[in-house]
Amino acid sequence: MKYFVSLLTSLTICFSVSAQSADTTSTGGNASKKNTSSTESYNDDYSKWSIGIHVGSNFMIGDLSSYNGFVSHDANLHINGGMEGAGSGTLTRMTNSWWGFRGQLHYGRLSGLRVDDNNTEQAFRSRMYAGQLGLVLNPFHAFRISNKKPSRLNGLVMLDLGGAFLNDYAYIDRMGSPSLLNLDDGFFTPFIAFTGEFKYELFDYLSIDAGAQARMFFTDRVDARMSGEGNDLGLFTYIGLTYNFGRKGKQKSLIFTSPLSDMWSIVKDVESKMDQLTTDSDGDGVPDYFDKDPETPEGVAVDGAGRPLDVDMDGIPDYMDADPFTNKGAKVDKDGRELDSDGDGVPDSRDLEPNTPKGALVDVRGREIKLSGGGDVSDAFIPQVYFGFNSATVTAANRDRMATIARIMKSNENINITLIGHTDKVGSEEYNKRLGERRAQAVKDFLVKNFDIEASRINVDSKGKGSPLGKFNDINRRVEVRVN
């Protein structure tokens, strides 16, 4: 037992020194820890340390071998010459995705049989305490290049140097008379181990393992028979679990990472983004990568994110907005016109009497003006009609306004109106004067033709560009209505 304790202590010290050396090499010592490289940053996103527990069977390959004869007459030692139980614990530290270190402690039994030409049966059984330290290689997963997600299945290769303490018991059976040979209290032998292991990732922090480990002992004494023909071999087959240490979200082992594949994906992503940076599908001047609305119609004004402008912020883009200057927060219809529940031409947001009768004459705040009661018609409010640049055509967007004007005139047959045309500041005074008249005349013709309003009740005038309503040309290009 003292050999086992000494072996465990030595392996722990060696493993700690190796891990510290790996850390110092990868970070350049304390002086360079502040300047970590991209590889170190990559590694820091994953788990480097893991612990594993494995159970399985030991098989002997030597002068006396497992499953060599299947005969045993010893009732005291229970030598079966076949599968013997074994188990191991591992501690792994991956330096990066390609390689790392692993320490392993092992306990199990070995047994073997042999029947020679003289029908003499020889058998042995031994307890084995072993420890080893070696290199872990990840040749399959770390070097794969693909745009697919990393596989949950991976294979590792390990090369270890270790030592084992064994205590053998053997017997020889000649003519049915077994004789027990107690060779000694135990002996120590070094060995080299080769391991192949498959791992399947159940969760980021846990994987299931299956593998086989071959040990080549530096002695021919393990099976209690020294023929001089060659050193003895042992085989450990196992299954088990591995747990990865690390903070939540960073417990995925480096073993299941693929830096080259990640790099390939990054390059493809950069290429895609570069294409988007140099492509402007809708021709609005905003590259597709930054464009929040990459399908805006041609010629539509957009903001820095490629979204169509919405000056009044009513949710209807200006190019679709029949009234792009509604009050902030006002409710609008699908065409962007502010709601006017009673149809008096005063939007609900400014209407103090939102339930006036249809066609009632109202003031600018939507309050009804009762002419029979001496109301002042100079305070009467009738909606204005707006026009496009250098245009005198009444558009479909103005139909609701025209209907309101017609409704007021039909409900108040004793009033006449004057239509006053206005323009923006572009062009000469004389030209705009004529343009204002054309706009006023267009409104009159529309009312007469479509609503059967008597032409004699409508006068036409123009102020050209002399009375702008504001700084926006859109609202200056208008016809206003005054009650006579």
Residue 104, token pair as written in the block = 């392993």
Candidate from 164-173, 213-222, 420-429 with smallest mean pLDDT: 164-173
Q: Is residue 181 part of a domain?
A: yes
> Helix 429-451 vs helix 399-411: angle between axes, to the nearest 10 degrees?
60
- Beta-carbon count within 10 A of 410 CB: 13
CA distance 272 to 287: 13
Instruction: Give the residue-averaged pLDDT of 266-290.
Output: 76
Q: What are the tens digits of pLDDT across the range 225-254?
A: 877 778 999 999 999 999 999 988 889 998
Q: Is residue 106 part of a domain?
A: yes
Q: What is the pLDDT of residue 475?
A: 82
Taking the complete model, does pTM exceed 0.75, yes or no? Answer: no
CA distance 145 to 200: 19
What 8-state DSSP symbol labels residue 277?
H
pLDDT score of 4 more than 50: no
Q: What is the pLDDT of residue 108?
A: 96
CATH code for position 462: 3.30.1330.60
Say whether both 388 and 258 belong to one domain. Answer: no
pLDDT score of 91 more than 90: yes
Report CA-CA distances (Å) from 10 to 17, 103, 216, 419, 476: 11, 11, 21, 105, 93
pLDDT category at 258 given cuts 50, 70, 90 is confident
Q: What is the pLDDT of residue 412?
A: 83
Instruction: Give the residue-averaged pLDDT of 45-53.
Output: 95
Q: Is residue 31 part of a domain?
A: no
Q: Is residue 304 part of a domain?
A: no
Domain final position from 237, 263, 289: 263
Residue 49, token pair as written in the block = 């340390």
The tally of domains found in the chain comes to 2
pLDDT category at 463 given cuts 50, 70, 90 is very high
Q: Is residue 29 part of a domain?
A: no
pLDDT score of 47 more than 50: yes
- Residue 416 belongs to domain spanning: 382-483
CATH code for position 185: 2.40.160.20
Mean pLDDT value across the chain: 80
Q: Is residue 445 part of a domain?
A: yes
CA distance 408 to 412: 6
Say whether both 388 and 250 belong to one domain. Answer: no
Residue 89, token pair as written in the block = 């614990």
Helix (H, G, I), strand (E, B) or coil at 158: strand
Q: What are the tens digits of pLDDT across the range 23-44?
A: 443 333 333 344 444 445 677 8
Domain final position from 263, 297, 320: 263
Q: Is residue 328 part of a domain?
A: no
E-state strands within 185-231: 187-203, 206-217
Stated as kind and residue range, the H or E segment containing 240 is: strand 233-244
Q: Count how many Cα atoms sit within 13 Å of the Cα of residue 247 in the half-sphere of its side chain.
A: 2
Q: Is residue 172 part of a domain?
A: yes
Domain final position from 206, 236, 263: 263
Q: What is the pLDDT of residue 11?
A: 42
